[in-house]
Every structure is written in structure tokens, then in C-alpha cells.
Chain A
């Protein structure tokens, strides 16, 4: 199974949730400053790459975890990717998660400022604020998604 976290840009909330899901970040505490700085660098360098699946890792049940930037085309991409399974006869389950609402508006603002060459120190400050502010909320959302996946798996087994 592939779990794809989709945001407007793939490197902000989508990547953060994917990293939490795959265990790269621990949900009970904030990552150290070096990791957060590295995350910001990734956003600065690759934030404008839309449509590219970013492989993050596998979770404890060996699901592949990805992040994806899909602007405002989440539903179009979700349907298109899901139907590719049928067309190419891929025996693969796909689970898309829209993180747009959970991550809030700040990643859109930071991404816009970075794309327009606004002072990157200022953007970094904003990013740190957003990261610290949203971390617990996103970790909670990831736990809920994991629970949902677990329940779906159990009900599939029962069938």
C-alpha cells in the first residue's frame, strides 16, 4: 500500500505528516533545530516542485509513505492516480490524505514569499513559528490516519 500525503506544496505539511507517519520525526517531541533547518532548506529548494512524489519511508506495517505537492488539484490527482491502477493492472492500494486544511495558510504564504525572492531569514522565522505551532496538531492528525488505516485493514481481514 502507498500512503500519499498531499498538500498545496509537497514539502510543508505534506512532508511533515509523512515524516511523522514514517517515524522520521517523533510525534511526542519537536525535532532538533538541525532537522527543522534541514526541512526549511528542502522547502526553499524544492517547494515549487509540484506533482513529484517524494518518497519519505515505510511505516511499521510496511506501507510506503510519500508526500506530494498538488496545488489545488487534489481530487483530480487522487482520481487520476487511483485509476492508473485499473489501466495498468497494478495490484496496489492507494490512500490519499489531503493536508491542505490541517496545515493552515502559513505554508502557502511562506512558499509564495520564497518563490518571490523575499528575505529567506524572514521566511525561516515564519517557518519555525509554523512548525512549532502546528507540530502537535499534525502529529495528532497522523495518529488518527494511522488508526483509520488500521481499522480499514482489520475490516478487510474480516471480510
Chain B
């Protein structure tokens, strides 16, 4: 159908979580256990030197390919740059959707993310990110549900 990008600052935690909810790797009806987060592919793995590289997470039930990408705080520049390039290459804008996974996150997620990815101390940072994301998990589920509804409505239009 098209390509869906969940994006956030580092492409390592919230966007990965959103993509995992979208692809049913994580449950919609309850808050997952810590071990379930650790089992997600690419969770807390994105190297800051690789920011901007989209990571393929899977194909959803509507046929959309789901990717995750980290854009630092430059989404207002990076997204137009991608769209502008695709436009110059003759790709329709209808085939691409960008969703910001930066909902109202618990500050602990950000602190954990910096500790793990930037300071390189994952054994301290990773549990902090999981603790923070578990607090905001219902918001992420809500975001993904709305995205899925939009995609379903878009599919009906065609």
C-alpha cells in the first residue's frame, strides 16, 4: 500500500514502541512487562551515528510497510527534505506517511535515552526508558489506534 514512518528523536525507544504496537508485537489492552520490551527487535539499539537511517519493522495487516527513523530535533527539516526528494523522484505523497511518536512522554524516558544512547550506559539507561514508556504506554496505544483508523479510512477511499 505505502510506507509509514514512525519518527522520534533517537529512533530507539518511542518510535520503536509505536511500531511494535502497530505490528502487534506489543499488546493493545495491557501494559507490557519489562521483558517484553527487551524482546522487541531494535529496542534501545539505534546508534546516534546512524540517525536518519530508516529501520524496517514489518508489514501491517493493511499492507503498509512500517519503518522507524530517528531525526534528532530536526523533523521540521528532515521530513520536507525526504518528501521533496521523493517528489523529485516521482513518488506520490499518498504512499508516504510520517507519524511523530513524541507524545507526552515521561521525562524519565528522555533521561534514560540520553544515558543509554549518548552516554553509552545501557544497563542504567534502558530500564529507565522502559519505566518511562510503561507510564506513557496508553498514550502510545491511543496514537497507534488513531494512525490505524486513518490508514483504514484511507484504504476505504481507494
Contact = CB atoms under 8 A, between A and B. Distances in A.
Interface of A: 2, 50-53, 55, 64, 66, 68-73, 75-81, 83-84, 87-88, 90, 92
B77 A70 contact: yes
Contacts of B51: 75-76, 79
Contacts of A77: 52, 74, 77-78, 81-82
Contacts, number: 88
A50 B76 contact: yes
11 contacts: A50-B81, A51-B76, A51-B79, A51-B80, A77-B52, A80-B81, A80-B82, A87-B3, A87-B54, A90-B91, A92-B89
Contacts of B86: 84, 88
Contacts of B71: 73, 76, 80
A66 B89 CA distance: 13
Contacts of B38: none
Contact of B85 (A50, A75, A81): A81
Interface of B: 3, 50-54, 65, 67, 69-72, 74, 76-82, 84-89, 91, 95
